[in-house]
Amino acid sequence: MLTKNEEFSTQKVRSTKKHFWSSDKFQRIAFILPTSIFLLCLTLFPFIYSVYLSLYFVKMTNLSKKFYAGFENYVDLFNDSLFTTGIKNTASLAVTTLTLEIILGFFIARILFELSNKRGINVLRSAYLVPIMITPIVVGVTANYIFTPQQGIANYLLGSVGINPIGFFGIPIPAKLTILAVNVWQWTPFMALLILAGLTSIRQDIIEAAKVDGAKWYHIMFWIEIPSILPIVLLGITLRLIEILRFFDIIYITTRGGPGDNTMVMTLYTYQQGFRYFHVGLSSASAVVILFVSIVITTFVVRFLRKAENNA
């Protein structure tokens, strides 16, 4: 038989254990910990290992045999004209792509906004978002079939109006323009969707008051609509810049960086050094540079985004 003190202490221990397992703090940790461990293994470990390998001369065929190089891989990286060409091509692709996507996305969003009360507009919006849902590999394969010099439908249509076939992926300028067009076609709906959300959030009484005061459509666009959607546009620019910095699939399937090195980008250079030439140290250094550029760009854009939100 247990005494009253012993029974009380036993019940206290049981209640304490029950309270610990059912506490909010323990449950938060229990739910967050598995996901955190998975994300750390998926992101942090590859990053640390890439930084580690970037400091060594090492071949993929013999990872156990490596020699400490310090920052020599980074020096060799920026002395390589192919990598600097990849930086220039990536930068020009980012500028031209974002410019076209913002301009086209704004006008398409404006059209969809004006037609918001029409019947069937929801079906049109859904159909317009289809390019975003297609994986880049499928887009690249499709573009390869469309712009193939001999059997592509693009040259077939040009031939039907008397224009000679064009080597879309075999001539420098057409190759760049084709890659640009494919990228803009796929991601303009994303920018248009963000801008449409921004236009929808604008109070209509402000626009009506501006119209009563005699404001024209271009006054409303430049002084009301554009300042109102600027934070959303900056968010879209941030997301698209990150996407462009890791732009790889379409170029790999269509041009492989050619003709020559005219469509070479940073990610394709990283892939070639690591998986074609097996220079793991140089490939890791290139990957670290891409990550560093992504962090710097994101930091600056987030600062501008906060300023725009504060001024809004």
| CATH code, 225 | 1.10.3720.10
Q: Is residue 55 part of a domain?
A: no
Q: How many domains is the chain built from?
A: 1
Q: Is residue 8 part of a domain?
A: no
pTM for the model stands at: 0.84
Q: Is residue 22 part of a domain?
A: no
Residue-number span of the structural domain to which 126 is assigned: 74-311
Cite the DSSP H helix spans in the chain: 4-21, 24-39, 45-53, 72-79, 81-114, 121-128, 130-133, 136-146, 153-160, 172-200, 204-212, 217-220, 226-245, 249-254, 266-271, 280-311
Q: Is residue 219 part of a domain?
A: yes
Bond from prior residue into 259 cis (ω within 30 degrees of 0): yes
Per-residue pLDDT tens, the chain, 312 aa: give them. 445 455 545 555 455 555 556 677 777 888 888 888 888 888 888 888 899 999 999 888 887 888 888 899 999 999 999 999 999 999 999 999 999 999 999 999 998 888 888 887 888 888 888 899 999 899 999 999 899 887 788 988 888 888 888 889 989 999 999 999 999 999 999 999 999 988 888 888 888 888 888 888 888 888 888 888 888 888 898 889 989 998 999 999 999 998 889 999 999 999 999 999 999 999 999 999 999 998 888 888 778 777 766 765
Q: Which helix (H) or strand (E) holds 65?
A: strand 62-68
Question: What's residue 252's pLDDT?
Answer: 93
Q: Is residue 60 part of a domain?
A: no
End-to-end CA distance of the chain: 74
Question: What's residue 10's pLDDT?
Answer: 54
Q: Is residue 236 part of a domain?
A: yes
- Paired with 68 in beta bridges are 56
Question: What's residue 2's pLDDT?
Answer: 46
Q: Is residue 178 part of a domain?
A: yes
Q: Is residue 36 part of a domain?
A: no
